[in-house]
């Protein structure tokens, strides 16, 4: 995550294409990324809500990160969605996204639980 990003312009949210057996359709994801680049977007984002990140296992999310980074190369920035079920879960995904070569991350608060008192900033 060392590239400077111009935060203006169109950041396309990638959808997660699935095969008939509900695994990620890697070739369709690659085609979608190439299409976004050809259309002139400034960056791509995913997996996030529109990508149905909540249906993906952590291994599938890591695959999404790797495929996206590999397909983009250095053409445009990639913002990886790392929202998780807890702060530590999101941090683990952020490390995976950074390790894959994502340029930035996008995280929402935990989407399943309210978190424990430490994650909410409440003193016990």
State yes or no: pLDDT of 124 exceeds 80.
no
State yes or no: pLDDT of 115 exceeds 90.
no
- The pLDDT score that the predictor gives to residue 55 is 77
- The pLDDT score that the predictor gives to residue 123 is 55
- The pLDDT score that the predictor gives to residue 109 is 79
Q: What is the C-alpha to C-alpha distance for residues 111 and 124, in angstroms, rounded to an integer?
A: 23
- The pLDDT score that the predictor gives to residue 25 is 96
Q: For 42-54, how does the pLDDT look when each residue is reduced to its tens digit (9 = 90+)? A: 999 988 777 777 7
From the centroid of its chain, how far is CA 20? 22
Is the model more confident about 5 or about 77? 77
Where helices occur in 1-124 by DSSP H, the ranges are: 26-38, 58-72, 87-100
Q: For 12-28, how does the pLDDT look when each residue is reduced to its tens digit (9 = 90+)? A: 999 999 999 999 999 99
Domains, in order of start, for the chain:
11-106 (3.20.20.120)
pTM to 2 decimals? 0.84
- The pLDDT score that the predictor gives to residue 120 is 54
SS3 state of residue 45 = strand
Q: For 30-82, how does the pLDDT look when each residue is reduced to its tens digit (9 = 90+)? A: 999 999 999 999 999 988 777 777 778 889 999 999 999 999 999 999 999 99
Sign of CA dihedral 62, 65, 71, 73: negative
């Amino acid at each position: 995550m060392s590239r400077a990003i111009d935060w203006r312009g169109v950041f396309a949210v990638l959808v997660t294409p699935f095969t008939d057996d509900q695994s990620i359709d890697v070739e369709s994801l690659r085609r979608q990324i190439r299409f976004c680049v050809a259309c002139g977007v400034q960056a791509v984002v995913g997996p996030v809500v529109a990508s149905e990140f909540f249906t993906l296992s952590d291994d599938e999310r890591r695959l999404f990160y790797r495929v996206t980074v590999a397909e983009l190369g250095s053409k445009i920035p990639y913002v990886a969605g790392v929202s998780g079920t807890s702060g530590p879960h999101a941090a683990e995904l952020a490390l995976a996204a950074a390790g894959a070569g994502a340029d930035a991350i996008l995280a929402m608060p935990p989407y399943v639980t309210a978190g424990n008192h430490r994650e909410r900033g409440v003193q016990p």
